[in-house]
A and B are shown apart, each in its own frame.
Chain A
Amino acid sequence: MDLLYFAWVRDAVGTGHERIALPENVATVADLLDWLAARDDRHAAAFADRDRLRAAVDQRFAGLDARIAGAREVAIFPPVTGG
């Protein structure tokens, strides 16, 4: 699965893209954030405040409770500020 990070989330994680093998017990975006945060301090710091995070699953906006089984791409980012 491809993981994409944007804006300050990318700065905090230290990369805009990484590829992972999804463990079977990781069912939702929130589970994914927990699993990544447990791996190292940068992910933990980037994902510390879940209220500041938004997500997209296969390029469509989704809640952190969205299921990710079978998804090709999950993106994590702050609330959008275009226009």
Chain B
Amino acid sequence: MIRVAVSPEPIDVAAELAAIEALAAGAVATFTGIVRADDGVTLLELEHYPDATEAALAALADEAVARWKLAGAVVVHRVGAMRPGERIVLVATAAPHRREALDACAFLIDRLKTDAPFWKRETRQGQAQWVEARDGDTAAAARWRHG
């Protein structure tokens, strides 16, 4: 089971988890990305490259399912305007055992950050600014290319 979605709608974690838990695979791991409230950001806007985004997420999900022999993988990314505390992204993986589920979940969020065409713009004190990519994200994604 692979589910990839990009949508301006709020992410319904309960519904997404219910679907992947229903596989009864043994272990489900999740990652949720949330708009930070602690550094003055009042608005976060997510832009993406329609079609290319979904294709990139599907390719990552396919790779994770094959590499860790997952029963299921879910990647749901919100786009458009979000407020602090709202969900940006949800990754969930299902596998027979926790190690595969946890590793695959980390792989998906690390690689999503470098391989999927999304761009963040933050508004602080009424000033909007595009977010710069972080070197740490590139390093985190790169570690999955070895072993």
A residues adjacent to B (C-beta < 8 A): 4, 6-8, 11, 56, 59-61, 75, 77-83
Contact string against A for B residues 22-64, beta-carbon threshold 8 Å, 1 for contact and 0 otherwise: 0000000000010000000000001111011001100000000
In the complex, what distance in Å separates the CA atom of A61 from the CA atom of B88?
23
Q: Is the CB of A8 within 8 A of B49?
A: no
In the complex, what distance in Å separates the CA atom of A78 from the CA atom of B134?
12
- Which chain B residues lie closer than 8 Å to A77 at the CB level? 49, 117, 119
In the complex, what distance in Å separates the CA atom of A82 from the CA atom of B115?
9
B residues adjacent to A (C-beta < 8 A): 33, 46-49, 51-52, 55-56, 77, 88-89, 109, 112-121, 130-133, 137
In the complex, what distance in Å separates the CA atom of A80 from the CA atom of B114?
6
Q: Is the CB of A75 within 8 A of B89?
A: no
- Which chain A residues lie closer than 8 Å to B51 at the CB level? 59
Q: Is the CB of B133 within 8 A of A83?
A: no
Q: Is the CB of B121 within 8 A of A7?
A: yes
